[in-house]
Structures are given as structure tokens and as C-alpha cells.
Copies of this chain bind each other. A is one copy, B any other.
Amino acid sequence: MSTVNAALRDQVDRMERARIRRRSRFVLTDEHVTLSHGSGGKASRNLIDGLLLPALGTTGHDGFEDAAVLPVAAANSRLAFTTDSYVVSPLFFPGGDIGSLAVHGTVNDLATAGAMPIALSLGLILEEGIEVELLRRVMDSIRAASADAGVTIVTGDTKVVPRGKADRLFINTSGVGLVKPGVSLSASHVRPGDRVLLSGSIGEHGIAVMLAREALDLEADIRSDSRPLHHLAAAMLAAGSEIRCLKDPTRGGLATSLNEIAHQARVAIVIDEAKIPVRGEVRAACEILGLDPLHIANEGKLVAVVAAEQADAVLEAMRATPPGRDACVIGEVLEQPQEMVVVRTEAGGSRVLDMLAGDPLPRIC
């Protein structure tokens, strides 16, 4: 079996000449994505080698194998692992797009575990017929966002489904990161007397996406706050050893994050409405739409529960970073009423702040 027989030689010669053409053909010339691009065959390679890998700054032979293998240097570290799918509509909105959101959202989930991101994966589900140009824009945004966040996309997967079986483009990003020894963040560590800190103004992402749908006939200069928060989280962890937990108040907004903490820790959280930063445009849009900014999604904010004696130091560390410039203490943890969030209103009253039952803003991320 160590030689190729003569009858084959002619065929091979023809193929070898063809191969020269074929190798230069891993370029994507199509204008629209077709089912063949999800086949695992040549059309898939054209998409992967001709667009996806170059867009990420990676090329062919050294591109993705089925799994990436990463050196994990720090012996005593623990691994953080997270996943999120992104189905935001529209795909592009002021301040971001589905690509940058998919990078920031997963980086931020790692940040809430106190982890520094090592690597992200990228899973694409494409609807047959979408413009290759649209995909290129999203990939460029993914590259820019991951470069900005200092993380690398190390493995990926692409599926194509027939027209009408998806809404243009869905993205899944999963992420792995390292948690330093001694760092242990969990809502279950929260206890009465702790302070609640918020890194900045709320409601911008949700309202920006909602207005971008143009179904509302509202205009306002509101941009998504989508941004990576792992450096902010690292600065906080360096400033305070008694940070109980971090949350990024995305879907369901700050109200949901606080309720989850109160529920998990079996405590009460009392916040002062007057202390919660809300930009004027966001407040106005919420009033018109009958929404509470506390229920609106954010993609660039952290809420932290910190031991009272370290609250000032952590706050100072937050304010020294760009994403935490407007950080403030918004409330504290009490023993009772257990598993509830109470808002002291600007008018001097109080109200219980619950999670929403339903969804004021579907497909916000």
C-alpha cells in the first residue's frame, strides 16, 4: 500500500493541478449565506477560512480544531465557566450590536464570578439567505470587542438553518476564566449590615435596544452601556477582601439582581431610589413607556454587596476606573423582611420592589 498505482497517477495529476486552484479558493465569494455553508464540507471551509477566521485575525491551517487546548498556568486557581446565547433584535443598536454584546455579556458573567477571562468560544446559528456583508460586520465587531477586552476567541462552530427557521443570526458565546485563590463570590455570603454598591446609571441598554426597534415612534439620544467589566471587578477585588458577591443586572434589571440576592441569602435589601443614577433621557423614556428603570436591562453595570467597613475603599476603587466613574452606595442589607427588596422612594415612602412576572422587553440580549 506504500505506492500509488499507475492507473491513479493521471487522476492524481489532474487533481494536483486542480488543488492549486482549490487552495486559493478558500475565499468567500458568495453574497448570501446558504445551507451549504453549514454542511461541514467545502462551502463551510470557504466561510470559515474565507471570512470567520480572518475576521478574528486567525488563519486556516492554524485555525480551529474541534476543541482548543489552553495552558492553565496558575496551579491554585479555579476555573470559571459560563455560557450565554444572544438573540437581540435588532442586530445593531446605538452603542453596540449582537457581536459586541456577545463578547461583553460573557466576559461580564466571568467578571461576576471574580474571574479574569482566558478564552471565549463562538457558536453561530445563521439563517439561510442572510447577507455575508452583515455577517462580516458582526465578526468585525466581535474582533474589536474581544481585542478591547483582551480575550481571545479560541474555538467555534457554525450552523445554518433554512430561511424562516431562525431570525437572521443568533450567537452563543461561552467563556472560561481563572479565579484567584481566596476569591469566592456568592450571594449566599451576603449578610445583614452589608452595603449595596452600583457602578453607574441604569436602564440604558434596554431602552437603547427598544428605541432601535423603531416601533415606538420615540427618539432619544440613548446608547447601550454595553462594555466589559472584568477590569472593574478586578479593581474592586484588589480593594476589598470582603466583597460578598457581584452581579451584572442584565435581563430583568437591577430589581431582578437584587431580588435574586435577597432570595438566595435570605435577607432583605433596602435601597434608596434617590441614590440610583438614571440618566434624564432614560427616565423620560421610561415614564412615557410606563416602565421602571429598575426593571430595564443593563450590559455595562455591576452591582456589588460589600461588608460595611470596606464599602468606602471598594467605592473609591470603582470610581478610579472608567466603567465605575459614577459608582455609589445605593442601599444596605437588613435581616427583615426576609427575601424582599424594599425601595425608599424619593417622595419619602417605601415600596416593595419585586421581579417582574413577565417581559417588558423581549429579546433585549
**Using a CB–CB distance below 8 Å, which chain A residues touch chain B?**
1-5, 7-8, 11-12, 15-16, 19, 23, 35-36, 38-45, 61, 65-72, 75, 77-87, 109-110, 112-113, 115, 118-119, 121-125, 154-157, 159-162, 164-167, 170, 172, 174-177, 179, 184, 186-188, 247-248, 250-252, 256, 263-264, 268, 270, 272, 295, 297, 331-332, 334, 336-340, 342, 344, 349-352, 354-360, 362-363
Residues from chain B with a CB closer than 8 A to the CB of A82 are 66-68, 121, 155
Residue of B79, B85, B263, B332 touching A72 (CB-CB under 8 A): B79
Q: Which of A16, A36, A155 has the most CB of B within 10 A?
A: A155
- Top 7 nearest A-B pairs by Cβ distance? A40-B251, A39-B359, A40-B252, A174-B174, A83-B121, A67-B82, A67-B113
Which one of B79, B113, B352 lies within 8 Å of A79 (CB-CB)?
A: B79
With a cutoff of 8 Å between Cβ atoms, the chain B residues found around residue A2 in the complex are: 332, 334
| Copies of this subunit | 2
Are A115 and B69 closer than 8 Å at their CB atoms?
Answer: yes
The answer for the CA separation of A347 and B338 in the assembled complex, in Å, is 78
- The answer on a CB contact under 8 Å between A350 and B43 is no
A-B contact pairs, 30 of them (CB 8 A): A1-B332, A2-B334, A4-B268, A4-B342, A4-B350, A5-B350, A8-B349, A16-B340, A19-B340, A23-B339, A35-B362, A36-B357, A40-B251, A41-B358, A44-B251, A44-B252, A67-B112, A68-B80, A69-B78, A69-B113, A75-B75, A82-B155, A83-B122, A85-B124, A85-B159, A87-B159, A162-B363, A172-B172, A172-B174, A176-B176
Instruction: Please state if B83 and A79 are interface contacts (CB–CB under 8 Å).
Output: no
Chain B contacts of A332 at CB under 8 A?
Answer: 1-2
Is A123 touching B84 in the complex (CB atoms < 8 A)? Answer: yes
Q: Is the Cβ of B78 less than 8 Å from the Cβ of A41?
A: no
A270 to B3, CA, bound (A): 10
Query: A350-B4, A352-B15 are contacts. A87–B161 as well, Cβ < 8 Å?
Result: yes
Q: Which residues from B are CB-within-8-Å of A65?
A: 112-113, 186-187
A233 to B204, CA, bound (A): 49
Complex contact A167–B176 (CB within 8 A):
no
- Nearest B residue to A340 by beta-carbon distance? B15
Separation of A358 and B352 alpha carbons in the complex (Å): 58
Which one of B83, B337, B362 contacts A123 once the chains associate, using CB atoms below 8 Å? B83
User: CA–CA, A170 to B170, complex, Å?
Assistant: 10
List the B residue with the shortest CB-CB distance to A175: B67
Interface centre among A184, A186, A358, A360 (most CB of B within 10 A): A358
Interface centre among A166, A174, A336 (most CB of B within 10 A): A174
A84-B157 contact given A40-B252, A67-B109, CB 8 Å threshold: yes
A295 contacts which chain B residues (CB < 8 A)? 41
Contact A67 B161, CB 8 Å, known A176-B81, A337-B4, A359-B38? no
Alpha-carbon distance A83/B177, docked complex (angstroms): 16
Residues of B within 8 A of A162 (CB): 362-363
Q: How far is the CA of A48 from the CA of B84 in the complex (A)?
A: 15
- Residues of B with C-beta under 8 A to A334: 2-4
A16 touches B355 (CB 8 A): no
- Give the distance to chain B from A87, nearest Cβ to Cβ, in Å: 5
Cβ-defined partner of A339 (8 Å) among B19, B67, B252: B19
